């Protein structure tokens, strides 16, 4: 099973700042089959990024994903008030599909 470790656990930033979230895999993820999700309290997660770097439908271009192999990054430029949430990475290259434990982006 591929274990995904996200860091930091919590990121405290102000609106307008840039957020950089990390997701590290215990083994290489083939074909960049990694996704990122945003989850707000009481809501289902929402797909932001798939294929490590492709934005899902309707996702603003301030969200960007990068990386390959075992190291992946989600960047959020110019944080908007609605971006403060929990973010999860997920790999779908190897069964069982697994999620990271999440990074909380909170208002500083």
Partner 1 sequence: QLQLQESGPGLVKPSETLSLTCTVSGGSISRSNYHWGWIRQPPGNGLECIGSVSYSGSTYYNPSLESRVTISRDTSKNQFSLKLSFVTAADTAVYYCARVGAGVVDWGQGTLVTVSS
Residues forming contacts to partner 1 in the complex (CB under 8 A) are 1, 33, 35, 37, 43-47, 49-51, 54, 56, 88, 90, 92, 95-102
Name which of 73 and 99 has its Cβ closer to partner 1.
99
Name which of 14 and 95 has its Cβ closer to partner 1.
95
Name which of 16 and 41 has its Cβ closer to partner 1.
41
> What is d(CA 1, CA 19) in angstroms, rounded to the nearest whole number?
28
Minimum gap (Å) between residue 61 Cβ and partner 1: 18
Name which of 13 and 92 has its Cβ closer to partner 1.
92
Minimum gap (Å) between residue 52 Cβ and partner 1: 10
The answer to whether 37 and 98 have CB atoms below 8 angstroms apart is: no
Minimum gap (Å) between residue 44 Cβ and partner 1: 4
Minimum gap (Å) between residue 99 Cβ and partner 1: 4
Phi and psi (nearest 5°) for 98? -130, 155
């Amino acid at each position: 099973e591929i274990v995904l470790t996200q860091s930091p656990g919590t990121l405290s930033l102000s609106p307008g700042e840039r957020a950089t979230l990390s997701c590290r895999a215990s083994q290489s993820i083939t074909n960049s089959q990694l996704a990122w999700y945003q989850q707000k309290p009481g809501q289902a997660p929402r797909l932001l990024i798939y294929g490590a770097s492709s934005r899902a439908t309707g996702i603003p271009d301030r969200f960007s994903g990068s990386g390959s192999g075992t190291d992946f990054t989600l960047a959020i430029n110019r944080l908007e008030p609605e971006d403060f949430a929990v973010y999860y990475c997920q790999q779908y290259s190897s069964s069982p599909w697994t999620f990271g434990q999440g990074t909380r982006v909170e208002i500083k």
